Structure 1
Amino acid sequence: MNETKKFRLAVIPGDGIGKEVVREGLRVLDHLAEESNGRFAFESDFFPWGCEYYLENGSMMDENGVEKLKDYDAIYFGAVGFPGVPDHISLWGLRIAICQGLDQWANIRPVEFLPGIPRRLNHPDVDSLNWVLIRENSEGEYSGVGGRNFSGRGPGKEVAVQSSLFTEHGCERIIRYAFDLARTRKRKKVTSVTKSNAQQYGMVLWDEVFVRVSKDYPDVETDQWLVDAMAAQFVLHPEELEVVVASNLFADILSDLGSALSGSLGIAASANLNPEGRNPSMFESVHGSAPDIAGKGIANPIGTIGSASLMLDHLGLTDESKRLDTAIEDTTRQGVLTRDLGGTYSTVQITDAIIKNLSEVKTKV
């Protein structure tokens, strides 16, 4: 018998509903491991980092937290943010600290229209829509360059500077990643999104790199849009979208729009990748900590379970990832939906249904 492949996961449930949905995602992963007959297993170490940790310790994570994560195969993340801790402290102290510290420079956010979910988009062929946003995840508008000064001048006279940082290296690697991904899809197309008419330095550099890199991919169709026009394109002509690559801020905003159009932020998965494999990658749903519904058992776990599917694929468990995607689709098709999607099912009941469908998918295979 072959030796069991063990994957070490660093689990950071975080705040609010993050704790609830991560628990459900781990249930699914453990179920898949049990079904593998010893082929693979997950070993999970939990880290109590988040806003409660901050209120007790004055920091969102251990001082050497990033170093502690480096030896894991992947990071499974819940959500960050809770009343009592300013959002810029919670985000920069945990999620961004991990993404930048581990150089997880490619953020992958699929936009998928699952069956059985009430449509938010008036489109003649919604079921055919499926695109993915590739977000530059290490610099751009979230580079953290800037500061606040002159508070000593008195009330109303302080100055804040927030600078975007675009490097040719950073632009090229995320754009090439988008082109490489496009080559694996049925339609080979990459759309670049900037605001280079108004941001004449960093985003003009991005545009120039995009044009240069595109010449290495003559088999891939391309187009370039300004972000405001692209927001309209998401609504008016989403059938034109396949792989959309954009800066840290713009892809962040557009991915939320895509998730809302497909039904809810609760179903949106994402991956923060270090494609070279020098450091572990991190997998999380797009939604936030939702403190208003935390502890009520009504949070939608699909985004986090979908993120587990992205993690399975990243770890080389491609068949299990495809099975899980199919089980999620079967679940929503059956009308098993949480309240954000117009249903009545609880967080646990959704997961139970996905696990049940996973077993049925295995039987069909």
Structure 2
Amino acid sequence: MKITDIVHNYSDGSSRLVCGLCRVRAFISESGAVVLLTDLDEKNDGQSVTNAVERIIKSLQEMGVVIGPATYLEHYEQDDPRCDSFDIVTIESRGGTQWKTISREEALVLMGCSPSELDDRSWQNGRIVAQADRLRFSRNPFVDSHYLESHAVVKRRLEIADAKISKSEVEALISEGAGERDIQGLLKRDLSIFGEAYAKPDDEYICFSEFPLGDGFVDFVVLTGRSRMDVILIEIKGADFNLLNADHYKEFNHKINQAAGQLRSRLGQIYRDISPFRDHVHCLRARAERGEKIHNAFLGPHHRLEVDPQKDINIRTVLIGGRTVDDRTESTKRHDYERTFTPQIRIESWDTWLRRLQRT
């Protein structure tokens, strides 16, 4: 027979602050008193039941929720109730705690309850969820809110939003079949569009335009990433041609092949002696982070990249141009191209590239 079903607060053990939650169900059966301690997963804002089990049991006894000897079961719920885990927890008189794993069937016998009791998922039980939320919100009214960003980050977000070009502006230019210079002119007005398309983690990027590379320039560059920096080199062509030729060979348009050849030549110079290039881009990163407008540097909201200048960099290359006619055929062609050539160059049409954008 179930006699208790509550959400219980427990301390974290160091500061003695109440900052953990678990579901406590007590049963009286032929086995005596049995207490089921269920971890509340995302609703538990403190240590897990396993790490806090001694303090949980002690606090239940001190509060009078459990009186006298009892068997304590540690319980973790899974999506499928048949996969739940159960352990008998024994606190030894000399100190120390022992766990003994038992099956769901053995737990049911100990508690003397029906399977429906264990089929009741805590996160789907409205009463339990409401109790847990009341306790969590009493501790922190903004517990589920996004963390507060610094004033500098908020200011930079607003600056970027005020100057942002819309996706519809880019789509209109592409639909008109604009040439390379017209598209470049629009995109140079707002380099955040490349951060939005390629930065990971989101909002952690520095973008450049007209970036010196080898014996020439690359149209745009994005620096992003964590620990090892990603250097994304982006070359663009116009939207005044189809990505693939119309004949039965379905080869890339000559403008794409020409641009890819130029990129591959410049990349070859970098890869043959990559250390100076790595040091160079890290130097440019540091100068841009200090506020220098070198190569039209554009800083994302979180512009101080958490990257290690001593680690290797990841170089990724993207070539954007032409229009999509047959997405399936072009996708196969692009993937074959990337697998075949070294160093790899990712080819995208303007139609596929536009799908990357989140802005309206």
TM-score, normalised with respect to structure 2 = 0.22
Between 1 and 2, higher relative CO (CA 8 Å, sep ≥ 6) is seen in 1
Query: Which entry has the higher C-alpha Rg, 1 or 2?
Result: 2
TM-score, normalised with respect to structure 1 = 0.22
